[in-house]
């Protein structure tokens, strides 16, 4: 009986000393902080009615056969999570589309990347036909991208941009 009570007392003391694990840098869930909402900068000199690029044609004067990119930034980014893996991390983003029927969700890397920052744009394609707005649950879309340890090397900020807002997390 004395040995059982002694072992129980020692194991209780050992387990209670593990409370600092939650806040330590060794804990993988603390490698990135929680995401928070930031503002999205919009170029006010940009006129959406004027095409930014001329229509590209081949040598015979025909349009290129490449499919036109009809994707648009998602309306609102609601949540962003980073889950560590053995080979890097998985960036999962949840957004709310402007109307029902959005599909082909993807995280597209921003073209000029700032040093120490990895930025993605959450893009979806809306149907050509008009659809109802629907409820928030029917407009919620998730997209994920796998990041290797080489992709994350030197990165201090992960940022995902939508139409109305952006979310970022810092290391």
Q: Does some domain include residue 161?
A: yes
Confidence of residue 59 (pLDDT cuts 50, 70, 90): low
Q: Does some domain include residue 57?
A: no
Residue 48: its pLDDT value, please?
Answer: 65
Q: Does some domain include residue 130?
A: yes
Q: Cβ distance 32 to 82 under 8 Å?
A: yes
Confidence of residue 58 (pLDDT cuts 50, 70, 90): low
Q: Does some domain include residue 120?
A: yes
Mean pLDDT along residues 22-51: 72
Token readout for 48 is 């959406």
**Which domain does 86 fall in, by range?**
32-40+69-171
Domain count, the chain: 1
Q: Is the dihedral of CA 25, 28, 29, 31 positive or negative?
A: positive
The closest of 66, 32, 46, 37 to 152, measured between CA atoms, is 32
Token readout for 36 is 């928070």
Q: Does some domain include residue 6?
A: no
Q: Mean pLDDT across the chain, nearest whole number?
A: 84
Q: Does some domain include residue 52?
A: no
- As a whole number of angstroms, the distance between CA 113 and CA 162 comes to 16
Q: Does some domain include residue 7?
A: no
Residue 65: its pLDDT value, please?
Answer: 55
Token readout for 10 is 């020692």
The closest of 163, 25, 169 to 97, measured between CA atoms, is 163
Residue 91 has φ and ψ, to the nearest 5°, of -95, 115
Residue located via tokens 């990135």: 32
pLDDT at position 13 over 70: yes
Q: Does some domain include residue 100?
A: yes
């Amino acid at each position: 009986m004395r040995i059982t009570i002694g072992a129980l007392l020692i194991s209780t003391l050992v387990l209670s000393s593990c409370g600092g694990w939650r806040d330590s840098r060794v804990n993988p869930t603390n490698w990135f902080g929680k995401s928070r909402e930031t503002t999205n900068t919009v170029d006010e000199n940009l006129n959406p009615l004027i095409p930014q690029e001329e229509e590209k044609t081949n040598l015979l004067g025909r349009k290129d056969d490449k499919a036109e990119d009809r994707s648009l930034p998602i309306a609102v980014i609601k949540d962003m999570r980073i889950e560590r893996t053995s080979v890097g991390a998985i960036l999962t983003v949840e957004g709310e589309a402007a109307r029902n029927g959005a599909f082909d969700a993807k995280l597209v890397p921003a073209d000029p990347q700032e040093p120490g920052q990895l930025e993605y744009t959450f893009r979806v394609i809306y149907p050509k036909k008009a659809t109802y707005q629907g409820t928030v649950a029917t407009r919620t879309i998730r997209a994920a991208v796998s990041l290797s340890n080489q992709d994350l090397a030197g990165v201090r900020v992960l940022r995902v941009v939508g139409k109305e807002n952006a979310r970022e997390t810092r290391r």
